[in-house]
Amino acid sequence: MALSRVCWARTALWGSVVTPGPFVIRRLQLGRPGFAWGAPWSSKLHLSPKADVKSLISYVVTKTKAINGKYHRFLNRHFPRFYILYTTFMKGFQMLWADAKKARRIKINMWKHNIKFHQLSYREMEHLRQFRRDIAKCLFLGIISIPPFANYLVFLLMYLFPRQLLIKHFWTPKQQTDFLDIYHGLRKQSHSEILSNLERVIPLISDPGLRWHLTDLCTKIQNGTHPAVHEILALRECFCNHPLGMNQLQTLQMKALSRAMLLTPHLPPPFLRHRLKTHTTVIHQLDRALAKLGIGQLTAQEVKSACYLRGLNSTHIAEDRCRTWLGEWLQISCSLKEAELSLLLHNVVLLSTNYLGTRR
């Protein structure tokens, strides 16, 4: 009895006592003919572990795309208005992520090669400028979403106030046109105030010739005439020192100019002045880079965006008219020195107010 137990233990450990039956042999011989207990035969049809993982990932991606497509068709069929909002948000997040990656590449390149902002190309400068403004708006939303359950309120606010809380990536095409019109209407409300401020300081200008030129320019603009480039450049000296120099502007003037530039006027005077200086300097640097690139190299959308930034409501103006106006702006901007940037700031009103009016 003990001997039989020992033999059974050896059989379990070494497999050398018990001979496999015919059923086991047939199952083991499916791999290859020969000895049943030999090393397993590696078939060429078997995939490597890496190939298995890749095929699994490919399968999951394909299935996910198919399910996502069905989900999109379901939303479009049963909830068309929600589907528009959904697709707009998804595309907006994709565009914002692409902008973030591009901005990161530009910043890394600046750091590696010790490049300053004004040394970048026009498109890189414009991308960084716009991304900074967009990310500031997104950070505001992130901050107000921090309290518990506040994110639900934020989603409701974004739905009710998309113009104030969302960047253009999350606007529908119709909203983009409507909101740009609204913003231009807001900045246009300050045009008459800026012209009145210019007329008010005319007696403070010491040079009689400059006084006459500024009076004539204000009268022409108020009568609906679009001024020529040389008429604006003739006033360069007025905007260097008192009373129209950047450092001599009064608080009311700075508030009106901030509204014309779509900047908040609700800041203390030192912050208003600093922000106007910074914003105007960036536009001046963009103008120099654009003059180097050439207006002809810009796409239609880039031209319209550049005009809108500089005060012209380009959403309803033909592309060729926008290019003409942008060329006039660059003639003025590239002729100005840093001390004369107050004229470039006022040029947002002087050059854009009557562009579609009578030209004499």
Q: Would you state the pLDDT for residue 297? A: 96
When pLDDT is averaged across residues 248-267 and rounded to a whole number, the result is 94
**How far apart, in whole angstroms, are the C-alpha atoms of residue 360 and residue 353?**
15
Q: Is residue 35 part of a domain?
A: no
d(CA 260, CA 254) in angstroms, rounded, equals 10
Please state, in angstroms and rounded to a whole number, the distance separating the CA atoms of residues 183 and 309. 11
- What is the reported pLDDT for 149? 74
Averaged pLDDT, 22-44: 43
Q: pTM higher than 0.85 for the full model? A: no
Tokens standing for residue 86: 């959904």
Task: Indicate if 147 and 293 belong to the same structural domain.
Answer: no
Confidence category of residue 11, pLDDT binned at 50, 70, 90 = very low
Q: Is residue 170 part of a domain?
A: no
Using CA atoms, how far apart are residues 202 and 126, in angstroms rounded to an integer? 36
Same domain, 231 and 275: yes
Is 63 a domain residue? no
Place of tokens 């990310």: 135
Q: Which has the closest alpha carbon to 263: 183, 339, 195?
A: 183
User: Is the pLDDT score of 360 beyond 60?
Assistant: no
Residue 255 forms part of a structural domain: yes
Whether residues 229 and 122 share a domain: the answer is no
Report how far residue 336's alpha carbon sits from residue 291's, in angstroms, rounded to the nearest whole number. 13
In a domain, 98, yes or no: yes
Q: If DSSP codes are grouped into helix, strand and coil, which group holds residue 222?
A: helix
Per-residue pLDDT for 358 more than 90? no
Q: What is the pLDDT of residue 70?
A: 76
| Residues 333 and 283 placed together within one structural domain of the fold | yes
The pLDDT score that the predictor gives to residue 54 is: 76
Q: Is 265 exposed, middle or buried (0-12, 13-18, 19+ CB in 10 A)?
A: middle
Mean pLDDT, residues 180-200 taken together: 95
pLDDT of residue 176: 93
Sign, CA dihedral 84-171-306-293, equals negative
Contact (CB, 8 A) for 256 and 194:
yes
* DSSP classification of residue 40: P
Q: Is residue 129 located within the same domain as residue 229?
A: no
Q: Are residues 223 and 342 in the same domain?
A: yes
The CA distance from 128 to 118, in Å, is 11
Query: Over 90: is that where the pLDDT of 255 sits?
Result: yes
Cis, bond preceding 243 (omega within 30 deg of 0): yes
Worst-scoring range by mean pLDDT, 224-228, 240-244, 341-345?
240-244
Statement: residue 276 has pLDDT above 80: yes
Residue 324 and residue 226 in contact, taking contact as beta carbons nearer than 8 Å: no
Give the tens place of pLDDT for each residue, 345-355: 999 999 999 99
Q: What is the dihedral of CA 318, 324, 330, 331, to 10 degrees?
A: -160
Query: Which residue, among 297, 284, 295, 294, has the nearest Cα to 334 in the 3D structure?
Result: 284
Three-class DSSP category at 45: coil
What is the C-alpha separation between 251 and 27, in angstroms, rounded? 94
Residue 47 has pLDDT above 50, yes or no: yes
Residue where the block lists tokens 């926008």: 322
Domain of residue 103: give its range.
91-162
- pLDDT category of residue 87 using cuts at 50, 70 and 90: confident
Q: Is residue 129 part of a domain?
A: yes
Mean pLDDT lowest among 85-94, 101-110, 265-274: 85-94
Average pLDDT score, the chain:
84
160 exposure class (CB count in 10 Å sphere: 0-12, 13-18, 19+) = exposed
Residue-wise pLDDT tens digits, 132-188: 999 998 888 888 888 877 777 888 888 889 999 999 999 988 999 999 999 999 999
Regarding whether 293 and 195 lie in a shared domain, the answer is: yes
Residue where the block lists tokens 């409701």: 156
Task: Tell me the average pLDDT across 341-347.
Answer: 96
Pairwise pLDDT comparison (138 vs 256), residue with the higher score: 256
Q: Does pLDDT of 301 surpass 60?
A: yes
* 244 and 341 both lie in a single domain: yes
Query: Number of structural domains, the chain?
Result: 2
Same-domain status, 110 and 235: no
- 279 closest CA partner among 344, 227, 358: 344
318: Cβ contacts below 8 Å, ≥ 6 apart: none
Percent of the chain with pLDDT over 90: 63
The residue-averaged pLDDT of 263-289 equals 96
Q: Residue 32's pLDDT is what?
A: 45
Q: Are residues 207 and 324 in the same domain?
A: yes
| 298 and 215 fall within a common domain | yes
Instruction: Please determine, for residue 35, whether its predicted confidence score (pLDDT) is greater than 60.
Output: no
Give yes or no for residue 324 having a pLDDT over 60: yes
- Asked if the model's pLDDT at residue 357 lies above 70, the reply is no
Q: Is residue 55 part of a domain?
A: no
Q: Residue 60 has what pLDDT?
A: 80
Would 221 be classed as within a structural domain?
A: yes
Per-residue confidence band for 321, with pLDDT thresholds at 50, 70 and 90: very high
Whether 268 and 316 share a structural domain: yes
Would you state the structure tokens that stand for residue 301, as one six-digit string? 């959308």
pLDDT at 80 over 90: no
Give the pLDDT of residue 76: 67
> Which strand (E) or helix (H) includes residue 71?
helix 49-78
pLDDT > 70: what percent of the chain? 84
